[in-house]
Structure 1
Amino acid sequence: MLTRTAFALLMTLAGACEAQAAERIYCAVDDAYIKMSLESGFDAAGGNKLIHFRGALTLKDSKVPGLVETMLLNSGMLRQRWMDGKDLRLLVYSETSGDGPFAALELTIETSATASDPDRFEGRYAVVIETAEKKSSTPRKTAMSREGDLLCELK
């Protein structure tokens, strides 16, 4: 009887602790314009649902007022994402707050899996920073626009 009870308890606990298959994407670039590392986790079993997103972006040649040179990126800044096994697309957006000068950063990442290694994604990034005297001011000026190559890996 004790064996049956222990077995039933073990099976109940095993069922309650289902493993969640997750895929992690790591992206990195260090070129003349930016130094960036990103990590994003997707639920592989649940339609590639986003689990988390984080990273750091350093603008090497930024002279944009009100914008820090190194920014920590998080899931709240991720506006769009696409991951289907062959393509990875991310759109990150962040803006300054307060009454001072306004700056908005948009980071776009577009990659595709390589033919030789489906866990390796190569592509491009684009960083655009727009500024204005205040958030409500129009038109905004493009203060910086940079593009470059990017490498991502599925872990």
Structure 2
Amino acid sequence: MRVVTAGLATLLFVACCPAYAAERLYCAAADEVLKLSIESDISKRDKGKLVNFRGVVGIRDEKVPPAFRHLRFDTPVLAEQSLNNRQLRLQVSSGLQDKKLLGSFELTILTTPTQKAERFQGNYAIRISISPDNKTPRDVVLSHGASVVCYLR
């Protein structure tokens, strides 16, 4: 009975709320420096706006302090999004804080469609800067870019 009730509730939610009855976006990249994973819903009602956006970056570079090597982010840090003319552009920007360090994190993804309409291929660029306080200029400890693949499902 609970399964039927949950199924009906889900069906009613999708039927009454088409903004969430949308495509899904998945992006992934992995190399010797980092592993990146992003997923989001794409709202049909709001002209391709990303909703429920979230991602994880795992950094393997020793120059990055341990507190900043595993980053999780979601919708509030999504500074820019564009999915028009089938080009995908995302920009994530956030502050970082540890007991002894302040930092900033910027991630940009730019992709274009491949021959398969649901697959996008392009590049990402990530930059992490740190300083001991707000008065000291931040040092760039990681500036890296490589290829990324995104899928619409």
TM-score (norm 2): 0.81
One-letter amino acid of the counterpart of residue 107, structure 2: L
Deviation string 1:72-116 (CA, Å, 9 cap, x unpaired) is: 2211221111111511111111222366311111111111111x1
| Aligned pairs, number | 139
Find the residue that maps to 1:76 and give its secondary structure: helix
Tell me, yes or no, if structure 1 residue 95 matches structure 2 residue 99.
no
Percent identity (aligned): 35
What residue number does 1:47 align with? 47
Query: Residues of 2 paired with 1:47 and 1:94: CA distance?
Result: 25
Find the residue that maps to 2:76 and give its secondary structure: helix
* Greater shift in the superposed pair: 83-92 or 64-73: 64-73
What residue number does 1:4 align with? none
Query: Residues of 2 paired with 1:150 and 1:98: CA distance?
Result: 29
Runs of 4+ aligned structure 1 residues displaced above 3 Å come to 18-21
Query: Residues of 2 paired with 1:113 and 1:137: CA distance?
Result: 43
Native 8 Å contact 1:109 1:125 kept in 2: yes
Q: Which protein is bigger by CA-based radius of gyration?
A: 1
What residue number does 1:74 align with? 74
One-letter amino acid of the counterpart of residue 84, structure 1: N
Tell me, yes or no, if structure 1 residue 25 matches structure 2 residue 25.
yes
Find the residue that maps to 2:68 and give its secondary structure: coil
Query: Residues of 2 paired with 1:72 and 1:80: CA distance?
Result: 17
Query: Residues of 2 paired with 1:86 and 1:104: CA distance?
Result: 30
Native 8 Å contact 2:67 2:98 kept in 1: no
Q: Which runs of 5+ in 2 are unaligned?
A: 1-11
Give the number of the structure whose residues are more often helix, by fraction. Answer: 2
What residue number does 1:104 align with? 104
Native 8 Å contact 1:85 1:113 kept in 2: no
Native 8 Å contact 2:118 2:152 kept in 1: yes
Deviation, 1:124, is: 0.3
Find the residue that maps to 1:45 and give its secondary structure: coil
Q: Which runs of 5+ in 1 are unaligned?
A: 1-12
Deviation, 1:52, is: 1.4
